[in-house]
Structure 1
């Protein structure tokens, strides 16, 4: 059984989570990746780290509507944020950096172990939500008739 989350509950999960799964597409294939993010109550911000041959960036170029899935297991609940992803304009980079600093879960895992820092790029992007939904899952308690 599921219940819709209120906007306040959705905002709380987005502020507290700081990491989710970002789904992109090239029109044929889907590509989902874990991503840290910051949320300012309106937009979702990412700081993408990538190399010249990044699959993430190739898919980003062809994705019209991306989906960020954020979830928690205690209680079991999830939020879907859908919308377009665009580079953050220079004048908004401080806003992006602040949102990321305040609530992103920054991984300590280096995914570019064979790459020197001058071989990758870091840029801010934002997901402009066109739809946000959330739900909470109630525990199923079997009755004697369910057994």
Structure 2
């Protein structure tokens, strides 16, 4: 019995998957050091861009890594009880959201972001610096894998 390989998702399937989820893993880099963090996101499917909101503390590693990352990688994934897996990977530069783009960014976050308490990392909201970023994918790909499907 042949097993079916991972199937490439269409652009429409990638868009739907990103709209249905709200948390992924952002990977940043500084020379040979990597930093990955779970983060909530918003997805603007019209422009196919991802919005990220950072709550930086004065000691934040994110702040340092954002400054040194040329190409960020962002992964959103699901794994079912039957071991079917779906993932989308976006790779591209991070850029600050301009003031005039803030309404678009906040709309994207409102559509599907899943926010966690800002003080979980010991940062009271009044001490956090909130910053909005776009991840503008140069590549945006998705795959679905069903380990029990056959050709």
Question: Would you call these one fold, judging by a TM-score over 0.5?
Answer: yes
Output the TM-score relative to the length of structure 2: 0.87
Aligned partner of 1:66 in structure 2 is: 72
Is the alpha carbon distance of 1:109 and 1:120 closer, same or farther for their aligned partners in structure 2, counting shifts above 3 Å? closer
Kindly indicate whether residue 140 of structure 2 is the aligned counterpart of residue 127 of structure 1: no
Paired with 1:8 and 1:80, the residues of 2 have a C-alpha distance of 15
Using the TM superposition, give the Cα deviation of residue 72 of structure 1 relative to its aligned residue in structure 2, in angstroms.
1.1
Pairs within 5 Å for 1:1-147: 1-41=5-45, 42-74=48-80, 75-108=84-117, 110-113=119-122, 115-140=123-148
- Structure 1 residues without counterparts, runs of 5 or longer: 143-147
May I ask how many residue pairs the two structures share in their alignment? 141
Q: Say what the alpha-carbon RMSD is for the aligned residues.
A: 1.6
Superimposed CA distance per residue, residues 54-103 of structure 1 (whole angstroms, 9 cap, x where no aligned partner): 10110010000000000111341100000000110000001000100111
Using the TM superposition, give the Cα deviation of residue 129 of structure 1 relative to its aligned residue in structure 2, in angstroms.
0.8
Paired with 1:116 and 1:137, the residues of 2 have a C-alpha distance of 41
- Structure 2 residues without counterparts, runs of 5 or longer: none
